[in-house]
Amino acid sequence: MSRPAALGDAGRDLLLGAACVGCGAPGRVLCPVCDDVLPRRGRLAWPTPTPAGLAPPWSAGPYDGLLKTLVNEHKEHGVLALAAPLGRVLCDVVDDLVRAVDGAPGRPVRLVPVPSRRSVVRRRGHDPLLRVARAAASRLRGRGVDASVRHLLVSARPVRDQAGLGAADRAVNLAGVMRCRGRPVPGSVPVRGTVLVVVDDVLTTGATAREAQRALEQAGVRVDAVATVAATVRQLCGTALPFDPSAH
């Protein structure tokens, strides 16, 4: 880090008490060193077992280490500045999946976030996934992609805590929990010729993504892929070698 940058970070730490969530270095919520080790690519992350009919799920890396810290600090502790680096990670995932699934490169990309319950949004004070999805769409537009976020899904009923539930129990718990908005805003429903991607922060069993896909497809909206920031380690695949975030 250059001397001016280091002095600037020291000043921010003195005035604001800011520190990197990854390594604790003073000055920024994510220091340049930690920022540089974030994944820059997306890859397939099929869960095992895979929910029947799940659209191809893509992710940047394992839900561990720095990625896990960023997701949790942004979502649970309201470190809003982390939406930008998380949005960049999600943008890279979407960019790679579009190249893989889009038979006609250049089509508009529409990101549909998995919905959060209103009570959860109120408790957190913000909608973390929606914020990250918007940051990702903004970055994609900066790369010349016609990208936008479509808030098409809402929660239809409460669900019990998913912690500790296996794949089958999660699927039962989430069955019918989402629906499309009753009266979509004109222009909000993707039209034929777009690439539609369901987005979430973490892929675990794939049950949440599959439920979102079901709700959209029931309303006549085709889902091309799923994109997440991270996936649980046991679900990353696509290569015979161990997953190595440093290779990105």
Domain identity same for 84 and 196:
yes
Total count of domains within the chain: 2
Residues 22 and 89 in one domain: no
Residue 30 and residue 45 in one domain = no
What integer pLDDT is reported at residue 246 of this predicted model? 33
Same-domain status, 8 and 50: no
pLDDT at 30: 96
Q: Does one domain contain both 68 and 161?
A: yes
Residue 10 pLDDT grade (very low, low, confident, very high; cuts 50, 70, 90): very low
**Calpha distance 228→94 (Å, rounded):** 9
* Residue 180 and residue 163 share a domain: yes
**One domain, residues 5 and 73:** no
Mean pLDDT for 31-51 is 95
Over residues 222-242, the pLDDT tens digits come to 999 999 999 997 555 544 333
- Phi, then psi, of 68 in degrees rounded to 5: -60, -40
DSSP element (H, E) containing 98 = helix 83-101
Q: Nearest 5 degrees, angle CA 216-CA 78-CA 148?
A: 35
Confidence band (pLDDT; 50, 70, 90) for 190? low
Closest residue by Cα to residue 175 from 160, 197, 196, 190: 160
pLDDT digits 0-9 by tens, 143-182: 999 999 999 998 875 565 545 555 555 555 555 678 887 6
Residue type present at position 204: T
User: Which amino acid, one-letter code, is at 239?
Assistant: T
Identify whether residues 127 and 33 lie together within a single domain.
no
- Per-residue confidence (pLDDT) for residue 233, from 0 to 100: 72
Query: What is residue 53's three-state secondary structure?
Result: coil
**31 shares its domain with 59:** no
- C-alpha of 165 from chain center: 21
pLDDT for 95 beyond 90:
yes
- State how beta strands 57-62 and 109-113 pair: unpaired
Task: Supply the pTM of this predicted model.
Answer: 0.80
Tell whether the model's pLDDT for residue 38 goes beyond 70. yes
Give the range of the structural domain holding residue 108, as residue numbers without chain letter: 39-247
152 in the same domain as 80: yes
Q: Are residues 84 and 5 in the same domain?
A: no
DSSP H stretches of helix in the chain: 3-16, 32-37, 65-77, 83-101, 118-124, 128-142, 167-174, 207-218
pLDDT tens readout for residues 76-94: 999 999 999 999 999 999 9
Domain harbouring 139, CATH code: 3.40.50
Q: What are the C-alpha distances in Å from 85 to residues 45, 77, 80, 135, 243?
A: 21, 16, 10, 9, 21
pLDDT digits (tens, 9 = 90+) for 203-221: 999 999 999 999 999 889 9
Query: So what's the pLDDT on residue 9?
Result: 35
